[in-house]
């Protein structure tokens, strides 16, 4: 057993073309993704909203004081008192997002519509409503003015913030999840080459192996074990490269990442062994099917178009349940965003069952092979 493992390992790592597609190409592709998307913070903070406060022709001291004190009550807003000409110039040059006029009738001036402008308008509306409320109290129940002011000053949160363990990530992270899934499926190439080296009609090495008394199931098991180990190392190298060299936090604990990478390596090599066991096809044709079984599932998982997996989930979710790349990508989402252990467990169990079925099918196909002469 140790002899078989040793030479299977040496033989595999010396196949430079196969190792390129299994290890080097995903790293190159990840680097290109990084260059294309740039580096980002995984949890993006909203930029500070810059505003100006201008005294109107008939200044309202209450509104002026309110607008000047906004930045002490709201961390995301910064105000600065300006003259009207200076404020309008800053607004045109996009240095500020809006202008508060603290006149007899407070108003807001903006140059465009957007989230920042909507926030500023909401602040002005809140001030006007509170002012109207106070005036109504003065006109109808002046004795309740003091308690009314205390109630307005007592800001209370009507919702309770709790953490479910998930995080909000940049949408571009989906490409890196799909990249790792694609790299895991690239173990198909290792599996195909490993099986072809055991077939007498495809290689001299295969002819020598076929005349040995070693049981075919043992040969397949050793081949799967060694190829699985090599592919797992490849995926871990890619994961470490993405995390530390590119500085992209993939989320999840190290143990969870290792587990997902283990199952990803297993399914990739298993599919390759099954394809490689079909002896009637030549190596080139098998490699062609290997490309199909890596690129197409990766495409459906969002490698080329980030929203593809979500579109499929909406219109035909069964495809995501049988697509190994989608399940691997979804497992990373479960770790980094959803914090859904049950969903991740389901994905990994399906991958494990698919791997076992592929290896058993490869054994059934291989044990029936007979050669007229070797």
Task: Identify the H or E element spanning 98.
Answer: strand 98-101
Tell me how far apart the alpha carbons of residues 151 and 133 are, in angstroms, rounded to a whole number: 11
Q: Comparing C-alpha atoms, which of 229, 232, 234 is closest to residue 6?
A: 229
Q: Using one digit for the tens of pLDDT, what is the confidence trace for 19-52?
A: 898 889 999 999 998 888 755 444 444 568 888 8
Tell me how far apart the alpha carbons of residues 140 and 69 are, in angstroms, rounded to a whole number: 29
H helices present in the chain, as ranges: 2-13, 16-19, 25-37, 61-68, 70-73, 84-92, 115-140, 145-153, 173-185, 187-196, 204-210, 216-240, 254-276, 283-300, 308-315, 317-322, 324-333, 341-367
Residue 265: pLDDT above 60?
A: yes
Identify the sign of the CA torsion 196, 202, 207, 210.
positive
Task: Tell me the chain's radius of gyration from C-alpha atoms.
Answer: 32
Q: Using one digit for the tens of pLDDT, what is the confidence trace for 119-177?
A: 888 888 877 787 777 778 777 877 766 666 566 555 555 445 444 444 545 667 888 99
pLDDT of amino acid 339: 74
Please check whether residue 134 is in contact with residue 148, taking contact to mean a CB–CB distance below 8 angstroms: yes
Q: Using one digit for the tens of pLDDT, what is the confidence trace for 330-371?
A: 999 888 777 778 889 999 999 999 999 998 888 887 766 655
Contacts of residue 95, Cβ cutoff 8 Å, sequence gap at least 6: 50
For residues 286 and 233, which has the higher predicted lDDT (pLDDT)? 233
> Of all residues in the chain, what percent carry a pLDDT higher than 90?
25
Residues 296-323: what's their mean pLDDT? Answer: 90
SS3 assignment, position 370: coil
Q: Which residue matches tokens 């949890």?
A: 43
Residue 192: pLDDT above 80?
A: yes
Q: Using one digit for the tens of pLDDT, what is the confidence trace for 87-129?
A: 888 888 888 888 888 777 778 888 887 778 888 888 888 777 8
């Amino acid at each position: 057993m140790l002899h078989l493992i040793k030479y299977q390992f040496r033989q595999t790592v010396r196949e430079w073309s196969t190792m390129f597609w299994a290890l080097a190409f995903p790293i190159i592709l990840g680097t290109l993704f990084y260059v294309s998307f740039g580096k980002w913070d995984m949890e993006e903070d909203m930029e500070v909203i810059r505003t100006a406060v201008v005294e109107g022709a008939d200044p309202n001291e209450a509104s002026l004081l309110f607008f000047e004190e906004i930045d002490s009550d709201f961390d995301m807003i910064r105000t600065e008192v300006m003259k009207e000409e200076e404020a309008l110039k800053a607004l045109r040059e996009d240095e500020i997002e809006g202008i508060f006029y603290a006149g007899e009738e407070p108003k807001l001036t903006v140059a465009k519509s957007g989230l920042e402008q909507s926030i500023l308008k909401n602040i002005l509306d809140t001030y006007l409503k509170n002012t109207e409320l106070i005036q109504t109290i003065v006109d109808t129940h002046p004795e309740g003015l003091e308690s009314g002011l205390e109630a307005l000053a007592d800001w209370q949160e009507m919702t309770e913030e709790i953490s479910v363990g998930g995080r909000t990530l940049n949408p571009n992270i989906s490409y890196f999840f799909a990249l790792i899934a694609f790299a895991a499926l690239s173990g198909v190439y290792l599996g195909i080459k490993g099986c072809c080296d055991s077939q007498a009609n495809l290689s001299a090495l295969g002819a020598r192996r076929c005349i040995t008394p070693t049981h075919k199931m043992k040969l397949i098991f050793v081949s799967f074990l060694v190829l699985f180990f090599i592919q797992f190392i490849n995926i871990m190298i890619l994961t470490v490269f993405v995390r530390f060299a590119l500085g992209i936090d993939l989320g999840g604990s190290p143990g969870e990442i290792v587990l997902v990478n283990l199952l990803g390596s297993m399914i990739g090599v298993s599919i390759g062994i099954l394809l490689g066991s079909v002896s009637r096809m030549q190596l080139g044709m098998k490699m062609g099917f290997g490309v199909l079984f890596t690129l197409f599932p990766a495409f459906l998982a969002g490698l080329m178009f980030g929203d593809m997996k979500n579109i499929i989930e909406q219109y035909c979710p069964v495809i995501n349940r049988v697509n190994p790349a989608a399940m691997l990508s979804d497992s990373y989402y479960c770790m980094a965003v959803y914090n859904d252990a049950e969903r991740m467990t389901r994905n990994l169990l399906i991958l494990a069952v698919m791997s076992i079925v592929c290896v058993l099918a490869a054994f059934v196909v291989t044990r029936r092979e007979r050669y007229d002469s070797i």
